[in-house]
């Protein structure tokens, strides 16, 4: 069906090498030759087979984009940014949905079968073993939204979730809340663990503050709502740091349904600053995570790693900031 190199060569009356060379830049081809070949090629509608050429060049320009976050709306933006950013650099995202996987083996094998040039793991909930499994298989890997470490074993780009936890705690304390709660996502996610650690360490510097904590089953509206309903049954704290926006919105829904008001009765602080957070029927005060920066930095790092062969593992951390909206008491005037 498709037109091949050979047919173009025959039509142009030149060797196959000549055709190949006109389509690989940096090769030595004369102008007349180039014109002959291009004429034949366009007449036949030829375009080179990327997969065949990958056999000899060793590069496919395929990048595995693996994630398990297909229920958190912020990841639609993440996928948008990744796909566009990769495309703009001539790379092709091969999307892998790891939603139910616990072992990295299958996906590692699959991506190796397709000879991907690199892998981007875009997830805050996958264990770090996944990224390492790719590295061990000799595939360049960037873990976006992964766990920050001061001795990274693979490239990591994201925020320092411990610092985010501290920021959350500091924010609640500043606002004058004396009974605060950490309502985290699933306890197995490193992002949850780190936010918890940071939150608690900051609170422990304020001995007069009462603190409690609990974990929702997953990062979802329903899980957040359910967990908050449970918390409201006993005596709730004055304000909670919800593990994530979608969880926090679920919590808001629970508060509203219980006849309480936010922030007057219970305050909520989210994390991510996803689009819905600013919808005025939600209006969630939240910690902003700089998604576009994280994604574009991840792509740059991937591109650089592909160019350099192997590159020393690196962690890139972006800072977060509080976005003032309506679910937390205002800060006292300075």
Partner DNA sequence: ATGCGCAATGCAACCGGTTGCAACGAATCT
Partner DNA sequence: AGATTCGTTGCAACCGGTTGCATTGCGCAT
- Within 133-162, the residues that bind a second copy by CB under 8 A are 138
Residues of this chain, 153-212, that bind a second copy according to CB under 8 A: none
Using rule CB under 8 A, residue 261 touches a second copy: no
Burial of 136 (0-12, 13-18, 19+ CB in 10 A): middle
Kindly state whether residue 53 participates in binding DNA, applying the rule CB under 7 A: yes
Query: Given the rule CB under 7 A, which of 26-34, 88-96, 179-187, 208-216 is the region that contacts DNA?
Result: 26-34
CB 284 within 8 A of CB 327: yes
CA distance 155 to 56: 28
Q: Which of 105, 103, 137 lies closest to 119 in space, CA to CA?
A: 137
| Smaller CB separation from a second copy, 103 or 174 | 103
Report which DSSP code applies to 330: P
Binding a second copy (rule: CB under 8 A), the pick from 4, 115, 178, 258 is 115
Residue 109 lies near a second copy (rule: CB under 8 A): yes
Site for a second copy (CB under 8 A): which residue of 7, 34, 38, 84?
Answer: 84
Query: Exposed/middle/buried for 314, CB within 10 Å: 0-12, 13-18, 19+?
Result: middle
Please spell the DSSP secondary structure of 240-299, one letter per residue: EEESSHHHHHHHHHHHHHTT--TTTT-EEEEEE--GGGGSTTT---EEE--HHHHHHHHH
Q: Which of residues 23-42 bind a second copy (CB under 8 A)?
A: none
Alpha carbons 31 and 111: distance in angstroms, whole number? 40
| Helix H or strand E segment including 194 | helix 190-203
Which partner in DNA, a second copy, none is near 150 (CB below 5 to 8 A by kind)? none
**Is the Cβ of residue 6 or residue 217 nearer to DNA in the bound state?**
6
Residue 18 binds: one of a second copy, DNA, none (C-beta under 5 to 8 A by kind)? DNA
Stretch that binds a second copy, among 85-93, 186-194, 290-298, 308-316 (CB under 8 A): 85-93
Q: Which residue, 56 or 208, has its beta carbon nearer to a second copy?
A: 56
d(CA 173, CA 328): 11
Q: Does 38 bind DNA (CB under 7 A)?
A: no
Q: Which residue in 321, 332, 304 sits closest to 142, CA to CA?
A: 304
Q: Which residue, 73 or 197, has its beta carbon nearer to a second copy? A: 73
Question: 3-state SS of the chain: helix, strand, coil percent to 5?
Answer: 45, 15, 40
Q: Provide the binding-site residues for a second copy, judged by CB under 8 A.
A: 1-2, 47-52, 54-55, 60, 62, 65, 70-71, 73, 75-77, 79-80, 83-84, 87, 92-97, 99, 109-110, 112-115, 138, 221, 249-250, 252-253, 256-257, 275-276, 279-282
């Amino acid at each position: 069906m498709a037109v091949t190199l050979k047919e173009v060569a025959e039509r142009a009356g030149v060797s196959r090498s000549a055709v190949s060379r006109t389509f690989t830049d940096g090769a030595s081809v004369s102008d007349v030759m180039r014109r002959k070949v291009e004429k034949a090629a366009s007449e036949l509608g030829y375009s080179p087979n990327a997969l065949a050429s990958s056999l000899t060049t060793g590069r496919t320009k395929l990048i595995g984009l693996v994630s398990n976050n297909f229920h958190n709306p912020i990841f639609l933006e993440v996928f948008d940014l990744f796909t566009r950013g990769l495309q703009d650099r001539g790379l092709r995202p091969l999307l892998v949905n790891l939603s139910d996987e616990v072992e990295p083996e299958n996906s590692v094998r699959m991506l190796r079968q397709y000879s991907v040039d690199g892998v981007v793991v875009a997830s805050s909930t996958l264990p770090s073993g996944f990224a390492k499994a790719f590295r061990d298989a000799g595939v360049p890997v960037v873990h976006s939204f992964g766990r920050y470490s001061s001795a990274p074993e693979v490239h990591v780009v994201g925020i320092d979730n411990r610092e985010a936890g501290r920021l959350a705690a500091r924010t609640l304390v500043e606002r004058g809340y004396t009974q605060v709660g950490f309502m985290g996502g699933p306890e197995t996610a490193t992002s949850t663990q780190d936010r918890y650690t940071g939150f608690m360490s900051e609170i422990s510097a304020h001995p007069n503050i009462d603190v409690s904590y609990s974990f929702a089953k997953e990062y979802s509206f329903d899980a957040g709502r359910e967990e908050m309903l449970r918390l409201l049954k006993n005596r709730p704290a004055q304000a909670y740091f919800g593990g994530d926006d979608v969880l926090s919105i679920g919590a808001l829904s629970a508060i509203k349904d219980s006849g309480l008001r936010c922030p007057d009765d219970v305050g909520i602080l989210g994390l991510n600053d996803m689009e819905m957070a600013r919808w005025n029927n939600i209006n969630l005060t939240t910690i902003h995570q700089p998604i576009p920066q994280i994604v574009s930095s991840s792509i740059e790092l991937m591109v650089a790693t592909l160019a350099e062969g192997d590159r020393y593992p690196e962690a890139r951390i972006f800072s977060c900031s509080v976005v003032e909206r309506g679910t937390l008491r205002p800060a006292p005037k300075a």
